[in-house]
Structures are given as C-alpha cells and as structure tokens.
Homo-oligomer: A and B are copies of this chain.
C-alpha cells in the first residue's frame, strides 16, 4: 500500500463549530491565532475541506518511513488468553522515535516557506523536540528546544539525540527568558510543559525565530491523520476493521491522528466505532478536568482556547509518561468528548507498566510510557470483551518506542514504582479556581 496523499479534516463532518479562541485577559487583541503562525497553517486550521492534499515535498519525506507497520499482536493476545483481535499501529521506527514527526515535518515545511530561520520549541519527554529537530535539519532551519527539566534529567540521551540533529537544548525553566526566571524563583524548578511552552513563545522576540506549537493544535491533529488513514487501509487488506480504537492522550495529536479517520463513519451523531482515549491518573484532564476557556501555556499572554483542562498552572505529579503531563487537551478533542462522541479513561502508572512489560516481551517492541497507556487500555477492553463474550477488533496506537525510557522500566522491574499516584480533589479544585474569568457563554 501507499501512504496517504491527503490529510483528513474532521471539521466538515461535525454538526457544530468549535468555540472560537479568546484574547488573553491581559490583552486587548483579537484573540485570533498568533500572527506568527504561517497563513498556510491557519488556513488548514479553518478549512472546511474534508481532504487536504499533502504537498509533494512532505509526501516524499513521509515515504522515508511510511507506511508504518500495522501488526496483529498474536503473541500478546495469546499471553492475555483473549478472544479479542488486537492490532497495533507502530509509529516508533523513525528517527524521532514517535508519531510526532508526522506533523513536525509539515510544520517545518510551512514555517520555512513563510521565511522562518529558526524554530523554538517546548518538549516534555523529548519526542516532540526530537521530531522538530529532525524536521528542522531536513529543511535547513535552526532549532532551539526548551525541555522540561525533570524529563531532561531523567532522559539525558534525548538531549544528545537532539544535539546529534543539530538542535540546541536547554532545561526549562531556564534563565534565558523572563517567564523561566519567574517560575524558577517561585520554586518550580522541575518545570512543566506549559512553562516550557511559555519560554519557547517568549524566545520568538528574536528576529527570524518562530514558535512551533506542538501537538495540540488542530493542524497537528490533521497532519497525524496519516496514521488512521493508513491503518484503515491496512486493516481492510487484512479483512478486518476496528470496533474499538484506543490511544494515549496528551495534547491530542496521537489520539486524534489515529481515531479521527475511524470516527468519521459515526459522525455527526456517533454510534459507530468506539474511540477510547487513555490518560494518566496523574494528569486526568478529560476524566476530572473542566470544559472551560484556559491558556495553552503558563505565560497567560496567548489566546485562550475552550478545552478540557486542569488549569494552566496545574503541576502534575512526576511520572514517567512526561509527554502526557500537559494540563489540557486539544479543543477539538475536548469538544468531541463534551458531546459524547469519544470516551475517556484514566489508569495508574504501575498497571500501565505491567501491561507494557508483557506487551514488550510478546511483541518485541518496548512501548514508550505514553504509548503504554493505549496498551493497557487494550488489555482492559479485551478482558471486558471476554467477560461479555464479544470478540472485538481492537486497534491501539503504539505511538513510540521506549528505548530511552529504560530507567522507568528498571524502576518497574525493581518494584520501585509507586503503586498509585493520587491527585487529591482539592488540588484540582484549587487549580481550577484559578482558571481565567470565563467569557459570557451566550457569546460563544
């Protein structure tokens, strides 16, 4: 099979429009997308076309590693003793080690076309930074990465990897930016993704530098639909189709990229394939957050988006799936969840690692901790199906490899992983109490 020649835009298949972004409280601006974002990306964000052609140059890059494998996990099924058919779409076999290269290449392409010389980027576990570094090198752009300090200290080799790709990497909070210095002074030395994001945005004061948003923007989800489109074709070739699609949920590009092409058949009213997002119990934005206007980063200077959020100042407990430690999730995923078109579950780290360890030994791929969420989600669904006597086809997103996460597996094997990471209600309530004043809902 070939990799897809178009991205799938879910917006025209919805019977509602997304609540518009809002200007920050401190600002008198328009609240539209930051003018730094290339017009081409803004047009994609707003497009009502169902199919967005992928530029030939991007297709050529995709073909370096796409189509990615779609594999029936027969060894894993056997170990679980399940009657369910479990498939995984594996995105880890590219330079960046995860699905994030799908949109990083597209974003670098459009930023380059718009005249950027240098991209500033924030990264948690390092996959997004690695992906942008790789994409920048392809297109001759400089790359500067703000990496959440705790993640950098846990995974120093991620930094080496980005440096191999020609990027410069600093720990966030850094002393390069005002916002970094402010949070460091407040004692937030370990960092969060929203602080790193604020730092990257602030750094765009340098001429020629643009901020490369990450994976929560609608266009990032769009670019990742190559995963779901390919997976659909591959499952057809195997004479099957998924009853349940499962993916870990951070900012949303992994879940959206795999699920949207399958969700399409159930739109606008739902009822088709079940799309289940899995979030960490330590950062439960869909299952315990609020659907409200909030900032996407800690600077509170950028437009607000209506999202499921735990509050932009929420500092999730430390855990190994750094890529899922984001306080909110994409506005499009939030809106779908709000309307009951997708599902959400949250699991504890240790049960997730138990499933991932079993999967790794059966299937020969060590899942990234982020990807391990969907593996555990599949284990739960398979057990439920066996209880109910159904035999569903379950498709899970194995979004990246865990070869840089051996410290986490080491801790798990040594029995040194905390059994449960509890986030007390009052912590979430306190954070949500700091949400910005909500605009008059009648206006949205």
Point out residues on A near B: beta carbons under 8 Å: 64-65, 93-95, 97, 134, 137, 156-157, 160-161, 163-166, 357, 360-361, 364-366, 403-404, 406-407, 409-410, 413
Instruction: Chain B residues near A95: list those with CB within 8 A.
Output: 360, 364-365
Complex Cα distance A360/B160, Å?
12
In the assembled complex, the CB of A367 is this many whole angstroms from the nearest CB of chain B, namely 11
Instruction: Chain B residues near A160: list those with CB within 8 A.
Output: 406-407, 409-410, 413
Contact B413 A134 (CB under 8 A): no
**Chain B residue with Cβ nearest A96:** B364
Instruction: Chain B residues near A403: list those with CB within 8 A.
Output: 97, 157, 403-404
Query: Which 5 interchain pairs have the tightest Cβ spacing?
Result: A157-B406, A95-B364, A160-B410, A403-B403, A160-B406
- The 8 Å CB contact of A364, one of B64, B366, B410, is B64
- The 8 Å CB contact of A164, one of B93, B164, B404, B409, is B409
Contact A65 B157 (CB under 8 A): no
In the assembled complex, the CB of A43 is this many whole angstroms from the nearest CB of chain B, namely 29
**Chain B residue with Cβ nearest A366:** B164
Q: A64-B364, A365-B95 are in contact. Are A406 and B137 (CB under 8 A)?
A: no
Known A-B contacts: A95-B364, A164-B409, A403-B404. Give 4 more (CB < 8 A): A97-B403, A156-B410, A157-B410, A403-B403
**Chain B residue with Cβ nearest A95:** B364
Complex Cα distance A97/B160, Å?
19
Contact A157 B357 (CB under 8 A): no
Instruction: Chain B residues near A365: list those with CB within 8 A.
Output: 95
**Chain B residue with Cβ nearest A365:** B95
